[in-house]
Amino acid sequence: MRSFLSIAADSSFSLQNLPLGVFSTRDMPTKRVGARLGDFVIDLAFLEAKGLLVTPEVVFDHPDLTAFMGLGRKVWAQIRKSLMALFEADNPVLRDDSAVLARCLVAVSDARLHMPAVIGDYTDFYSSMGHARNVGMMFRDKDNPLMPNWKHLPVGYHGRASSIVPSGTPIVRPCGQVKGNDEAEPSFRPTSRMDFELEMAFWIGKDSELGRPIPISQARDYIFGVTLLNDWSARDIQSWEYMPLGPFVSKSFSTSISPWIVSLEALAPFEVEAPEQDPQPLPYLCSTKRMQYDVELEVLLKTSRMQRFERVCLSNFRNLYWTMEQQLAHHTITGCNMRRGDLLASGTVSGMEPGSYGCLLELAWGGTQPLTLKETGETRVFLEDGDEVMLRGWCQGDGYRVGLGDVTGVVLPAQKD
């Protein structure tokens, strides 16, 4: 399938993708729902008003995607098919109507992108075997790096939704309590161990009932789509605060996400078998079909002295030991209810090889193996002020890509007062 619009073969936003987001323009500052196609944002509110996208109620002339989410998976899939058909090469409806086409297309450079949904709750998991193994080897036991529960349940914690920001938002270096191994008492100071975390996350598109777990067989019906996520971390603050309850302020200061949500239908051609689980988890976490997605993930870094970004990590979402369906089934097994707009993240996605490690904690092995950047020869064990991080993710099809969009953020100095 190809579009009558000119779209580069390596564009992350092919006709097979059509991720959804929220945008505005200088001329039309009202937020509304759009879809990305090549270098354009399609104004879905306009197409809906023209009757070219038929929905049971007005859902795209809204400042977020919550109304559309409420229509359910069947409608989500149907709207995607209708939108693909409108921009397919042989369809004259928009192709031959230059006035309507010009009105419904907005150049990405002219669009301001916003948070795609109001996030009520945010949960971060710890689902990568490579990441859990590496952290365990660094801080616990080289011979037994995984905690006893890790292979039995998707470990996670509740994060802070208010500090999740769209790509491009600068990240202020946080301050907090830090206690070094050679220090008798903690002190309050800016983190010196600022880190990124390469993650993906999925959005909840359907409310569940308090007291009723979501069976793993129905979990997919609740997943609206996926997005790319950088869970910024202050490792020295984290190491002092995390016992016994886990991360708190070391993670809550900022989390960056892509403004685009990619549907499971767009990812479907890239399904692969999930890693084998041994031992087999309890029945509520078992399904007849355990699938992951073949999504290439990379991290690029640019210091204030560099002219261009340099790749420091290449990983893949298929590495995750626990699937999204398992994460959701476990999250709700006590009867915890989900709400539209909730965001559940994967945790750092690391492979088993050094070049696939999804954070500096692993890439520089706790600060003992500095990362050297080719362009300038600079080294990094953790992020410095002025460093800019970019995450990218994509699925490679036959002559097309399904991309997740970039997630960028530059580290600013800590506030002194």
Question: Which residue in the list 131, 152, 330, 331 is annotated as catalytic?
Answer: 131
Residue 141 banded pLDDT, cuts 50, 70, 90: confident
In the chain, pLDDT over 70 holds for what percent of residues?
100
Residue 139 banded pLDDT, cuts 50, 70, 90: confident
Q: Which amino acid is at 218?
A: Q
What was the pLDDT predicted at 343?
Answer: 98
Tell me the β-bridge partners of 111: 25
Instruction: Round to whole Å and give the CA distance between 208 and 408.
Output: 33
Predicted TM-score (pTM) of this structure? 0.97
3-state SS, residue 318: helix
Mean pLDDT of 321-349: 98
User: Domain residues of the chain, as ranges?
Assistant: 20-114, 122-412
Looking at the domain 20-114, which fold is it? Answer: SH3 type barrels. (2.30.30)
Beta strands in 38-174 (DSSP E): 40-43, 105-107, 111-114, 122-125, 156-158, 164-166, 171-172
Mean pLDDT of 221-243: 96
- The answer to whether the 20-114 and 122-412 domains have the same CATH topology is no
Mean pLDDT of 199-209: 98
Structure tokens at 252: 């809550």
264 CB contacts (<8 Å, ≥6 apart)? 220, 223, 225, 226
Rounded alpha-carbon distances, angstroms, from residue 49 to 53, 86, 100:
8, 15, 12
Q: How many residues does the chain have?
A: 417
In contact, 284 and 328? CB cutoff 8 Å? no
In contact, 345 and 200? CB cutoff 8 Å? yes
Q: Is 131 a catalytic residue?
A: yes
Q: Which CATH number fits domain 122-412: 3.90.850.10, 1.20.1530.20, 3.30.1130.10, 2.30.30.60?
A: 3.90.850.10
In contact, 296 and 228? CB cutoff 8 Å? no
